[in-house]
Amino acid sequence: MNKPFIETKEYKRFAEFCDACRKYKYIGICYGLPGVGKTLSSQHYAKWSYVNKQISYKGADQIGINADERILNCKTIFYTAPSIKASQMIGDIRLLGGRLGMVKSVYKYLEEGEEEKYSTDWTEDVDLVIIDEIDRLKLQSLEQLRDLYDQNNFALILIGMPGIEKRLARYPQLYSRIGFAHEFEKLSKDETHHILQYKWDELGVSIKLEDFSDYEAISTIIRITNGNFRLIHRLFSQIERILEINQLNSITTDVVEAARDSLVIGIK
């Protein structure tokens, strides 16, 4: 069972950015430090955990059998740029769009009795394509994405590390088509507090902010993670393991420090 996604203020800013790109059919670039939540936010916005299950069928008899009415409102493709064989990227994107259209068509036939219509236009059911890890791509692959965008009627969002916006500025044909840019920032202290309270509940551990030991543990986690969304999740995986091994029912500074020592952390 997938754990609920926490919609932070930064996610809502990201969703507004995606909505704007989709509305105006622009290319958008999103950049941010590793671990701040770019990938998870993109997948959540695209409802990708649901969509990917529907389009990953292995045979014609499985197309659309697990879909429900939610699939009709799914029009976003999420794709991670490959580290090798980037030449397959355009074909992969078209295949994902085609499969999404196929699932929708079969669902309409099975549930609503509509005639099955399989379009050869993969963009018919897609209005936004999100490409993650764009830093991996060389100029030739970026030009292929630009050409795909020019030939079709959809929005395109490129996600990468800080500095990607400066790198793309060196490619005028692509950069001139960029309508929006968004910097994905780390969690604020208040948001980190909110997420930590959720994490405490998730582990079935009571939290009392007026209790100094709880306050000290929270302060230690905030200092260690420094607003890094991914690092919070990694740290709590270790905290959960330590609580279970030692049969503890409270999160203390010692538990947090022990969890930190189990991780390879590049930031303090």
Domains 9-183 and 189-261 in one fold? no
Helices (H) and strands (E) in the chain, counts: 11, 5
CATH 1.10.8.60 fits 189-261, yes or no: yes
Q: Using 50, 70 and 90 to split pLDDT, how confident is the model at 215?
A: confident
Paired residues of 80 in beta bridges? 132
Closest CA to 254 of 231, 209, 211, 221: 221
Number of Cβ within 10 Å of residue 115's Cβ equals 7
Q: Using 50, 70 and 90 to split pLDDT, how confident is the model at 178?
A: very high
Rg (alpha carbons) of the chain, rounded to whole number: 22
3-state secondary structure of 132: strand
The pLDDT, as a whole number, for residue 267 is 45
The pTM (predicted TM-score) of the whole model is 0.88
The pLDDT, as a whole number, for residue 142 is 93
What stretches of the chain adopt beta strand conformation (E)? 27-31, 76-80, 128-132, 155-160, 178-183
pLDDT at 20 over 80: yes
Per-domain boundaries in the chain: 9-183, 189-261
Closest CA to 186 of 17, 33, 56, 63: 33
Counting Cα atoms < 13 Å in the Cβ hemisphere of 94 gives 14
pLDDT at 101 over 60: yes
* 25, 35, 121, 198 from 73: Cα distances, Å: 18, 29, 18, 29
The pLDDT, as a whole number, for residue 65 is 78
Paired residues of 178 in beta bridges? 27
pLDDT at 33 over 50: yes
The pLDDT, as a whole number, for residue 2 is 61
* 86, 173, 245, 252 from 234: Cα distances, Å: 30, 40, 17, 17
The pLDDT, as a whole number, for residue 268 is 44
Cα–Cα distance for residue pair 22/187, rounded to 1 Å: 25
Its CATH architecture, for the domain 9-183, is 3-Layer(aba) Sandwich (3.40)
Cα–Cα distance for residue pair 240/247, rounded to 1 Å: 10
Mean pLDDT of 170-194: 91
Q: Using 50, 70 and 90 to split pLDDT, how confident is the model at 110?
A: confident
